[in-house]
Structure 1
Amino acid sequence: MGQSNDVPARDVPPTPPRLAAGGLVAGGRYELLRQHGGMSGQAFWEARDRRLDRTVALTFVDPLPGEQPPGSATGVLDRTVALTGVYSDGLARVLDVIRGRAGGIVVTEWIPGQSLAAAVAAPDPDSAVRAVWGLSDAATISEEKGLVLGLDSPDRVRLTEDGRAVLAFPGVRADVDSRSDVRGLGAVLYALLTGAWPMDLPEGSDAHGPVDGRPGAAERDDDDELVDPTVAGSGVAPDSAVLAMRSLDGTAVSSADTVRAMVASELGSVPGSPSAARPAAAGVGGTAGSGQAPGQSAGQSAGQSAGRSAGLGSSTGSDLGTTRGADRGANSGAGASGDASDSEHWFTAAEPTDPDVQKRRWQIMAGVSAAAVVAIVMLAVWMLGALGGDRNDTPLSAQLDAIERAAQASRESATASPQAEGSGDGSGASGSDNEDDAEKDDAAEKKADASPIEVSTVTSWQPAASNGNAENSGSAPNVVDGDPSTSWSTDTYRDQFGTGPGAFKPGIGLMLTLDEAVEVRVLELSAEEDIRFEVRASESANPTSLDDTTRLGSGRVSDGEATVEIDAPEEAEYILVWITRLGTAGPQAYNATVSEVELLG
C-alpha cells in the first residue's frame, strides 16, 4: 500500500488558473481575446461577452503568492465594487463583479482606442494635459467619497479614440491611497509628454506581457533624480512639465482636486466638465452620466456616456450588468429585457416647439449674443489700450499680485500719515520715528512679560465649503516641534488665495489645540515666504466655517518672521493661523511653508 500524504490540500495555496487567448471563463460566458498586462494577484484581459455579443475588459483578481484563498482578493473586489459610485469619463463603467472561492473577476466596459503604451510610442505633448482631465476628475470624485482609484500601473490606462485617458482595468490594491493616485496622475501625464513611464512597476508585472508592451522607463540623472519632461521630451511646454513633476513629487501636490484644478487652469475654461455634470443619484434613466470633457462634443459625450449611471448605484453583488440594467448604454445592445433593438429607444423624443415661440427665442438669443460681442470688443480695446504700450512677459497673475502688494503698501502708508500729522508736536518724521521706537519697546516689554503656551496638537484646516482639502495635515505638528529645519507646507497653486472668480480657495489654516483654554497675547511665526495671515480663536478644533471663529489679529511675514500682538485677547483652547495670501514661488506658482509657530500668554 502506498504512503499517504498527511498534508491537507487546503494548506497548499492553489495556483491561479493559466489564462490564454481563446479560453472561456465564467461558465463559458466570456472568451479571452488579448492580454493587456497585470501584476501580482491581477491580470488584465480583453474579452468577448458571448451572451450579449460585445467586447468587455476583465480584471482577474487572485490571492497574492503564498496567501490562502481568498486572501487579499476579497478586499480588492470590495474596494473596486465601491467605484461603481464614481461617475466620471475617466473611469470605465463596472458592469459586473463575479466572485469565486479563490478570487473573482471585475467586468468593465471596453474602452475603444489604444493602450497607453501604444499612445505614447509617438508622444503628443500638446494634447497631454487635456488627455488627463477625465482621469483627474475620476480621482477627485473618488477622493471626495473616501475611495481610491488605484492608478499604479500603465497597463490599467487606455486612451479613447478622441484622446482621453481612462482607467480601463480597475482593481484597487490594499497598498494604494489618494496620494498614490496623485502620483499616478503625474506619471500618466509624464508618459504622455515624454513617452516614458516615471514610476516603478508593481511587483509581478514582468509575469504579464501586454499585447502592446509597456512604455520604457523614464530617464534619470546622475543623482537618480527624474529628468524634467522639458529635457526628456520634445516640445514640452514648461507649465505642463511643472504640473507633471509636482504631481509626481507627492508632497508639492497632495490632492487630486488640486491636480484637477491645475489641469483646468492649464486648459483655460473647461465648459461642461465632468464635475459639473455629475448625476445626483444612480438608477435614473436618460443621460445622467458623466459630463462633457474639454474638447469633447455633446454628441460624443452622449454616445460614450449614455446610461453610465443606469442602475449601478453602490451595488456590492455580482451580475451588475444584467440584473441591474448596467448593460444598457453606448457600448451595449441590450435593454432591460436583453433585446438589442431596445437600445434605439434609449432617449424619448421631445414634442415639437411652437414656431412663434421658437422665433421669439431666436430673437432673444440673437440680441443677447450681439450685446455680448459688443461688450467683449470694448473690453478687448480697453485692455489693448491699457496694456499694449510696453510688452511685458510677466504672467498676468504675477502682475496682479504685484499690483495688490503695491496697493496694500499704499493703504498702509495712507493710514500711517494722518497719525504722524496729528501728533501736534511739530516734530514731523522725527516724531514718527520716535513713535516706532516706542512701539518696538512696548512689543519687547510685552514679550518679556509673556510666557510660552503649550500646544498639544496641530492639524491643517479649511472651511467645509472650500474646494480641495486641508492638505498635508500629517506634517502640521512640525510647526511646534521647536526645530526650524522641519516645516509644514501648502500645495503649490497656480492662482493666489482669495474670493474672486479666479481663486481656487479663500485660504487655509493651521489649527492649534492648546492644553487648556488660555489668553494668547503674542503669536510668533517663522516662514520662508512673504505670506499674510490672521490669528483667530475657535471654540472647537473643526469649525464648519470661518464665521465660527473670532479674529484676534493679523500679520505679514517679513524677512522670514512675523509677530502678532493681540490687543484684546480671549480665552480659547483652539487657535487658528488662517493664511489669506501665499508667497510667490515662481511664474503662476504660489505656496507657503511655515517652520515654527510660538504662542505666548
Structure 2
Amino acid sequence: MDTRRSEQAGEASQVGIRAQGGSLAPGRVVGDGRYRLLAQFGVDERAAAHLWRARDGQLKRDVALTLLVGDPADAEAARLARRTLERAAHASKFGHGGVARVLDVLSLGSGVTSSEGLLGVVVAEWTKGSDLVDLVAQRPVAPAAAARMVQALAEAVDHAHQNGLVLGLDHPQRLRLTPDGALKLAFPGPLPEATLRDDVKALGAVLYLLLTGRWALPGGPAAIPAAPQAPTGRIIPPRSLVPTVPVELSSLAVRTIEDGGHGGIRTSAAILRVLDQVAEAEERTQLIKAVGEEEAVAEADGTVWTTKKPVKDVARRKKLAFGVTVLVVATVVILAWGGMMLINLFQGESKSSGPKINVAASSSQVAPPSGEQPPPAQQPPPAAPGVGAAVKPSAVAVFNPGSKGDSPGRAKNTTDGDPGTAWKTDEYDKQFPVLKDGVGLIVTFKDPVNLSQVKINAGSPGSKVEIRSADKKNPKLDETTVVATGELAAGESTIALQQPKQGQYFIIWITQLGENEDGKFITEVKDLTFLPAG
C-alpha cells in the first residue's frame, strides 16, 4: 500500500513538473508570482510534496513552502491535495515553539493557477537551523541529546493532539534542528489520511533515526538508509546497531513504532513520561561517572598527567602565594578563637565571682546579682520579620481555563527544589490577551496556609503575574481573587501579598509573557517558594 502510494506520488510529481514546462528550480516564481524559489530541502514522495525555502516578494522575508505538485486534471489527486490544505489551514491557528507557524494556504483558483502544475501551497515561517538528514549523515546523535530533541518535539505533538490536530511529522525532511538544539516541524502539511497514531509513530521513528542514522517508517528519503528488520519482520532495536544506546531509549523507539504486541506506546504523553525518566537516569549516570573519574585520577599514584608543559607565570604565582598567606592567617585566627572558646567553657565559670548556677534549672530561673539586669537569653536568630518557614505544596498543575497545553507534564518542576528543571508556557506569536487572557499554575496545600510571600525563580524577565486565591481545586478565573501582583526579573523575584491570605489553593496567573530573541512570547518558571506569615 505504501509502496504503491509512493509510486503514484512520484508519477504525479513528474506530471506536475511537465505541466510547468520544466523542473522546479531556484529562481522560479510560484504562488501567483509572489514566492521566488531559493533552495529545495526535500521531497515527500508520499504526497508529491516538494519542500522549498523561498522568498516572499511582498513582505521581503524567507518562508518555507510545501508545494503539492500534480496534474489539476486528476480528480483524485486534487481531492487529496484539498484535504491536506484543509488540515494545514486548520493548523494555522495552532501555536507552539515546536511547529513552524502556517502563514497562508494557497489552492487552485486561490493563489495557485493550473499553469503552475501545482495543486496547492502551504506557506510557513522559515525555520533557521540545520537539516535533519545532514545531522545524522556523519554519525548518530548521542543518546542524551537525542532524548532531549525528541522530548521537545513530543511536547508539540502532545499539545496539538489535545487540540485535535494532526501535525504530520512522519518524514525526516519536514523537520529541522533549530540553533538552540530543538527539533521543529518546519514544513507543515499532514497527509490526507494521517492520524494521531501516525504522529506518535513518527516520534519513535525520529528517535530511532537520531540514535542509529536509519529511518524506520515507509516513504523515507533516499538519502537515509532504511532500518533493518529481523526475519520475523520486526525492526532491529537501536541497541543492537549501536551498543551505547541505553536499553530504555532503544525499547522506547521500537515500542512506539510497532503497532502489535503488548506494552506498545500509543500516546505522546506516554513518550514524555519515559523520556523524563531517561533524562533523570542519564543525569545520575553522568554524575556517577564524573565522580568516579575524579577518584580514579586522585587514587592512581598521586601523579597528575597533562599534555602541556607547565607555564612559569610570575603574576599568577604571586597571586597564589598571597592567597595561601591569607588562608593560613585565617586558619590561625579561627584556631585561636576556637581555643579561647574551649578555655572559657571549661574554666571561665570557676573563676567568675557570680552566683553558682543550678544546671538543672532553666536560664529564666537563675537570679542575677543584686543591682544587675539579667543577661539576654541565648536564642537562635529570628526569621525575617513577618515571614515563617517555606511551605511546600502537595500538588501543582497548569491552570489553563478554556484551553489545554502549556506543558502540563512539567508543572511539577516548579516545586521540586531544583532550579535546573523548569516549566515553560507554550511559545506564542502574540502577547496576552490577544489569543487568551493568560495561563498559570495552581498549587494545592495539604492544609490551609496563611500566605505572606511568593518567591518566583524565573528565566523570562518582563513577565507579569498575579497571585490569586481560590476556594476550590478547579475554579473558574472569575471565581478567584487577586491578592498580589508583580513583574518578574531574571532570577528570583519576591512578590509580597498586601496582607497575609489564609487559603489552601493559590494561583500564579501570568498576564504578560516574556519575549525571547526571536520575538516570540514565552514565560519560564524554574522554582516557586511559598512563605506563610510568621
TM range, normalised to the smaller chain? 0.3 to 0.5
- TM-score, normalization by structure 1: 0.42
- Structure showing greater Rg: 2
- TM-score, normalization by structure 2: 0.47
